[in-house]
Amino acid sequence: MKEFIFPKDFLWGASTAAHQVEGNNINSESWVLEHLPGTIYAEPSGDAIDHYHRYPEDIALLAELGFNAYRFSIEWARIEPEESEFSYAELEHYRQMLAACHEHGIKPMVTFHHFTSPRWLMRDGGWLDEKTLERFARYCERATKHFGDLIGAACTVNEPNISMLLSKMLPFKIDETPFWDTAAQAFGVSHDRLGLFQFVTQPRMREVILAAHRRAFDVLHSGPGNFPVGLTLALVDIQAAEGGEGKSAEFQREQSDVYLEQLRGDDFVGVQTYSRMMLGPDGMVKPGDDVEKNQMGEEYYPEAIGGTIRHAAQVAGIPVIVTENGFSSSDDSRRLEYFQRALRSVASALEDGIDVRGYFCWSAMDNFEWVSGFGPQFGIIAVDRETQQRIPKPSAYWLGNVARRNRL
């Protein structure tokens, strides 16, 4: 294969999310959910991988490996632990984190909301409640006033469409489980007023979230700092199995197009892809037992990212940044090959003139994979959770080297 040179200033990074790595995010709604009787979470997040204290060495390690960017999220529940009570200490914490990135030549991409919200927000219905729009904007304003001058790029919210995907993959409806009622009770709301971002169950929530994105987009653009702003979407590469053209088109609309169409005019769209989904006349066609899968049960199909980049660019008509892409496996050689093939499909999209500005793998380190707990391994860096020691895997050296050379 001939060598491919990526565009100048291409962003090469790894991604994390605060709740999955920091540890002890006790004022978040997720912490409450993880500790409910009969919780659906395999285990609580606990200390996670203590990134809250260990970010200096983690950022230094990413730089040493060859990356020039790092995508991480800041935690609303830390910055505003009770309504209107903003913590200067936590704002300062994130300012230091951004400063650490700059010290190491790393461009920081900040996600303002990655699934978790303060627990107090839930008492009013969370992402179902109109007031969340202004509350989110106010939090973004506080945060960006404090450290906007150090931000390299920003994502307002992460994957507002994730539940579309989950609804196809889960064999049950989350709001029909006993867990849902226990959770509603814990936040003191009725069954229909549980507005959890990760589990969008009513169309109303989509409107609130997209409106919050719009407001945050303007707030973040009003400075300080001058950086591109977008949101990220969970995009699976939808392909039609025999006779599944109608179903595929329908799902493409629900999962991606209704969102992508509203992003025209944004600075970029963050594309987050792990696999493909085949749809037949009766819906999703599950990959057979003989097909290789990741630890989440999705097909090993690295070329998916090429398909979703092309689709997102075509519908939204704005630049694309791959903000998450990766493979969860205990066998790192499968992850390494995944990156090789995935990057070839990114290169081919670039060759065809599609404006792709960066590639962030998921994830920098093995971490807390939400309801699945610490089982799945997405990281290019392993973490010994007893000692919190970081151990880069071969895929980290390989990807870091591609990043350093800016060529494949």
Which listed residue (34, 159, 299, 369) is catalytic? Answer: 159
**Token pair recorded at residue 382:** 């392993």
CB nearer to ligand BGC: pick between 6 and 338: 338
351 labelled catalytic: no
* Number of residues binding to ligand BGC, judged by CB under 6 A: 11
For every residue of 270-337, DSSP letters joined together read EEEE--EEEEETTEE-PPPTTS-B-TTS-B--TTHHHHHHHHHHHHH-S-EEEEEE----S-HHHHHH
Per-residue binder mask for ligand BGC (CB under 6 A), 234-263, x = binder: x-----------------------------
| Stretch 328-367 residues interacting with ligand BGC (CB under 6 A) | 362
**Token pair recorded at residue 350:** 């670039």
- In angstroms, give the least distance from the CB of 191 to ligand BGC: 26
C-alpha 123, offset from chain centre: 25
Contacts for 342-348: CB closer than 8 Å, 24+ residues apart: 342/302, 342/303, 342/304, 342/305, 342/306, 343/402, 343/408, 344/1, 344/4, 344/408, 345/302, 345/303, 345/305, 345/306, 345/307, 345/309, 346/305, 346/306, 346/309, 346/322, 347/4, 347/6, 347/408, 348/306
For every residue of 101-151, DSSP letters joined together read HHHTT-EEEEEEESS--BHHHHTTTGGGSTHHHHHHHHHHHHHHHHHGGG-
Per CB under 6 A, which region of 53-61, 134-142, 157-165, 347-355 contacts ligand BGC?
A: 157-165
CB nearer to ligand BGC: pick between 87 and 295: 295
Per-residue binder mask for ligand BGC (CB under 6 A), 41-80, x = binder: ----------------------------------------
Near ligand BGC by CB under 6 A: residue from 30, 158, 161, 377:
158
- In angstroms, give the least distance from the CB of 324 to ligand BGC: 6
CB nearer to ligand BGC: pick between 272 and 395: 272
Residue 267 in 3-state DSSP? coil
Per CB under 6 A, which region of 67-75, 138-146, 154-162, 300-308 contacts ligand BGC?
A: 154-162
Per-residue binder mask for ligand BGC (CB under 6 A), 162-201, x = binder: x---------------------------------------
Rule CB under 6 A: which residues touch ligand BGC?
A: 17, 20, 158-159, 162, 234, 272, 324, 362, 369, 378
| Positions marked active-site | 159
